[in-house]
Amino acid sequence: MKQLPFKLLVREKFPILSTGQKKVANYLIENLDESTYKTAFQIGKKAGVSETTVIRLSFALGFEGFSSMQTTIQNQLLQKHQTELLESNQQEEFNDPLKKVIESEVHILRHMLNPTNTNEIWNAVDALIKADQILITGYSLSHAAAYWFSYMLSTLRENVHLCSPNGNLVEQFCNLTKNSVVVVFSFPRYSNETIKIAELAANHGIKMIAITDRLLSPIGQISDIVVTTEENAESGVNSIASVISLLNLIIEGIKQKDQKRIHTHQQKLEMLYSSFHVFNE
């Protein structure tokens, strides 16, 4: 059986881990390269737990022991680094800062369809198709992406609502059911308001999709489905282009799997567009 990517494995098991094991898991995710050569004792010291807790984490994740877990991480990182080296060798060195930005965007896009993300993208597609209502929220810089996604989704289906920063969140949330979905956008610096909404959805048992920068971000830890972009990116700046590209993948997935309903919905929209002369055509 093919071994799951280590990050996805941690994400799936994270809710059942003990507090100490979660500390180790967070450290490993944030320091995968270091974890390939440090001992269990050294990792435990860095994470602020005992060596035994590190070893217990390996068992909790389904490995035969710490060595087995470390070997898996080493092999997966080696494969990743070999791919990145190949890409780097194929690229021309640029001194132009604008070209460097483009190359950075291309790098992010190339790595967007990793096994972890692909699985979660299709999970998000299925959840959004089945939902009776969809509430989308994002604050600060995340609001732009949330607005774009809510608009695009509303052209494909009904009952899509955007929670604006100054909107009526309580009233919108009150109308949700167990069959609804909340989509939460959260990128550094993480907004406390966004985290509060995510916690509210989790406490009410409403399925939540997180669009964020890493699997174990504050909302990533409590969401049912986590779709990421720019994980381990070194630019220090979140790319709106990569976020929109990620959302485009979800939109395309919905178009492929829900064609009949989309066709009916878009026919109604076109009639209304014509009636209200929405577009200058």
User: 254 and 149: one domain?
Assistant: yes
How confident is the model at residue 158, as a pLDDT?
A: 96
Domain check: are 140 and 52 in the same one? Answer: no
CATH of the domain at 221: 3.40.50.10490
Q: What is the pLDDT of residue 124?
A: 97
What is the residue whose two structure tokens read 């809510």?
Answer: 150
Is residue 237 predicted with pLDDT exceeding 60?
Answer: no
Euclidean distance between CA atoms 139 and 24, whole angstroms:
30
Mean pLDDT estimate for the chain: 86
Place of tokens 């964020």: 212
Q: What is the pLDDT of residue 85?
A: 57
One domain for residues 40 and 121: no
| Measured CA distances, 70 to 13, 23, 52, 116 (Å) | 17, 17, 15, 19
* 100 domain-assigned: no
Split into its structural domains, the chain has a count of: 2
Task: Kindly state whether residue 188 falls inside one of the protein's structural domains.
Answer: yes
Least confident range from 4-13, 220-229, 258-267: namely 4-13
Question: CA of 4: how far to CAs of 92, 117, 163, 224, in Å?
Answer: 33, 12, 35, 18
Looking at the structure, do residues 173 and 122 belong to the same domain, yes or no?
Answer: yes
Report the 3 state secondary structure along 200-246: HHHHCCCEEEEEECCCCCCCCCCCCEEEECCCCCCCCCCCHHHHHHH
Residue 277 lies inside a defined structural domain of this protein: no
CA distances from 245 to 55, 134, 148, 197 (A): 39, 20, 11, 25
The helix (H) or strand (E) run that includes residue 161 is: strand 160-163
Look at residue 42 in the predicted model and tell me its pLDDT.
Answer: 93
Within-domain flag for 173: yes
Which has more pLDDT, 158 or 12?
A: 158
Q: Judge if 120 and 64 occupy the same domain.
A: no
Could you tell me the residue range of the domain that residue 266 belongs to? Answer: 115-272
Q: Are residue 69 and residue 119 in the same domain, yes or no?
A: no
Mean pLDDT value of segment 34-54: 92
Kindly report the CATH number assigned to the domain that includes residue 47.
1.10.10.10
pLDDT of residue 154: 96
Q: Which residues pair with 185 in a beta bridge?
A: 138, 211
Residue 94 inside a domain? The answer is: no
Percentage of residues of the chain with pLDDT beyond 70: 89
Confidence of residue 51 (pLDDT cuts 50, 70, 90): very high
| Helical (H) or strand (E) element with 196 | helix 192-203
Q: Same domain for 169 and 61? A: no
Cα 57 to Cα 13, 38, 46: the distances in Å are 10, 15, 15
Average pLDDT over residues 186-197: 89
User: Among all chains, which residue has been given the structure tokens 């993208």?
Assistant: 121
For residue 232, the tally of other CB atoms under 10 A from its CB is 14
Q: Return the pLDDT at 87.
A: 56
Which CA distances in Å does 220 have to 43, 68, 259, 268?
Answer: 23, 26, 30, 36
Q: What is the pLDDT of residue 27?
A: 92
Residues 60 and 141 in one domain: no
pLDDT digits 0-9 by tens, 87-146: 555 555 556 777 777 777 777 777 777 777 888 999 999 999 999 999 999 988 789 999
pLDDT band at 1 (very low <50, low <70, confident <90, very high): very low
Do 43 and 35 contact (CB within 8 A), yes or no? yes
pLDDT at 82: 63
| DSSP-based three-state secondary structure for 1 | coil
Mean pLDDT of 45-73: 93
